[in-house]
Amino acid sequence: MSPRHDVAVVGGGAVGVLLACLLAQRGADVVVLERRTAEPTGARAIGIHPPGLAALDAVGIGEAVRREAIPIRRGIALSGARELARMRFAPQPILALPQHRTEALLRRRLAALAPDALREGAEVTGLAERPGSVVLELADGVVEAAWAVGADGVRSRVRALLGIGWQPRPGTAGYAMADAPDDAVHGGGGVADAAALHLEPDGIVEAFPMPGGLRRWVVRLDEPVAQMSAGELQAILDARLRQPPRLPSTAVPSAFTARQRLASALVRGRVALAGDAAHEVSPIGGQGMSLGWLDALALDRALSRPAPGDGPLAAYDRDRRRAAQRAMRRAAWNMSMGAPARGPALALRLAAVRALALPPARSVLARAFTMRGL
């Protein structure tokens, strides 16, 4: 058996590596078990909300992220090219940075803190709890740790091995997205640092500025699809927008189904779940990654306070499940506002958007969009 660690983290993505950095900073012996040997491809998360940025600051990479990211300082709602409302994200903007870059910065930080902590190609196949420790079985041996954390995504092996249920929550819809060269007039209502929400009868079209002179376009679909070509996505944009962007010939759209699920428990004995292994939150609103980082901060605090048994994790289970439920309610509302609507239903929705952009509702909505209170 390999030497015992303080904490074993299963999953070397954004949440697992940030947690490992937090633990290593305070001197804990941490190992990260990542089954992949190469970075995943395709479009993933780009939004870093102020609470998530605070978590990145806590491990010393916040400034590096700020240098690479694009700040989204405001949101603009439009319909038929007419501006309905706008909102500033103050005092801190939401940052846009592709997830693979954020993960690269996190991995570099972990390598500086604990050079041998990350083990790639290490797939967990079994789990057993012993008095005072957890034993994780791998293809080439075992790893023992005082505590274990499953941060291994929505198809979490750790959650399955623990026998923890995966409960559906309201909010399911199909979307497609692609990146194109930015044109502030087409994408951001004439504002380069704005996220634009085009509330159209056939469904919402969202546009977010990104580094490298790009803008990400996201469209709501009538029904989920497995894949979509650039031509099919361009046809949707042409049909819904008066000034549609032109997708490049090299664009590779991603089609996905946004759904929401919550683990029936976030703690079982000396094992905790974090990030997407604990809660799958719709990416519409971009809360998932930052929510997982808040899990990591809470877990680090819990595990830094010695207590008998599983006492340190009891409050974590309760508090983070509540936070996930709040995030899911917000995401479900975001999804409902972007659903196809016509006639009186659309008119009522547009009137609601105008009203929400006025005080005092505006400050409440801005707080929700920037993930305050989670």
pLDDT at residue 362, as a whole number: 72
Specify whether 236 is located in the same domain as 319. Answer: no
Total of domains in the chain: 2
Q: Which domain holds residue 120?
A: 5-64+97-168+259-333
The CATH number covering residue 239 comes to: 3.30.9.30
> For 314-341, what is each residue's pLDDT tens digit?
889 999 999 999 999 989 998 999 999 9
Specify whether 140 is located in the same domain as 163. Answer: yes
Please say if the pLDDT value at position 186 is more than 60.
Answer: no
Specify whether 275 is located in the same domain as 142. Answer: yes
pLDDT at residue 1, as a whole number: 46
- Asked if residue 374 belongs to a domain, the reply is no
> For 85-101, what is each residue's pLDDT tens digit?
988 888 889 999 999 99
Please say if the pLDDT value at position 187 is more than 60.
Answer: no
pLDDT at residue 177, as a whole number: 95
> For 113-136, what is each residue's pLDDT tens digit?
999 999 999 999 999 999 889 999
Stated pTM of the model: 0.93
- Asked if residue 69 belongs to a domain, the reply is no
pLDDT at residue 256, as a whole number: 93
- Asked if residue 221 belongs to a domain, the reply is yes
The CATH number covering residue 38 comes to: 3.50.50.60
pLDDT at residue 367, as a whole number: 67
Specify whether 231 is located in the same domain as 353. Answer: yes
Please say if the pLDDT value at position 275 is more than 80.
Answer: yes
Specify whether 219 is located in the same domain as 356. Answer: yes
Three-class secondary structure assignment of the chain: CCCCEEEEEECCCHHHHHHHHHHHHCCCCEEEEECCCCCCCCCCCCEECHHHHHHHHHCCCHHHHHHHCEEECEEEEEECCEEEEEEECCCCCEEECCHHHHHHHHHHHHHHHCCCCEEECCCEEEEEEECCEEEEEECCEEEEEEEEEECCCCCCHHHHHHCCCEEEEEEEEEEEEEEEECCHHHHCCCCCCEEEEECCCCCCEEEEEECCCEEEEEEECCCCCCCCCHHHHHHHHHHHCCCCCCCCCCCCCEEEEEEEEEECCCEECCEEECHHHCEECCCCCCCHHHHHHHHHHHHHHHHCCCCCCCHHHHHHHHHHHHHHHHHHHHHHHHHHHCCCCCHHHHHHHHHHHHHHCCCCHHHHHHHHHCCCCC
pLDDT at residue 205, as a whole number: 96
- Asked if residue 21 belongs to a domain, the reply is yes
pLDDT at residue 313, as a whole number: 86
Specify whether 112 is located in the same domain as 151. Answer: yes
Please say if the pLDDT value at position 257 is more than 80.
Answer: yes
Please say if the pLDDT value at position 42 is more than 70.
Answer: no
Specify whether 160 is located in the same domain as 307. Answer: yes
Specify whether 291 is located in the same domain as 352. Answer: no
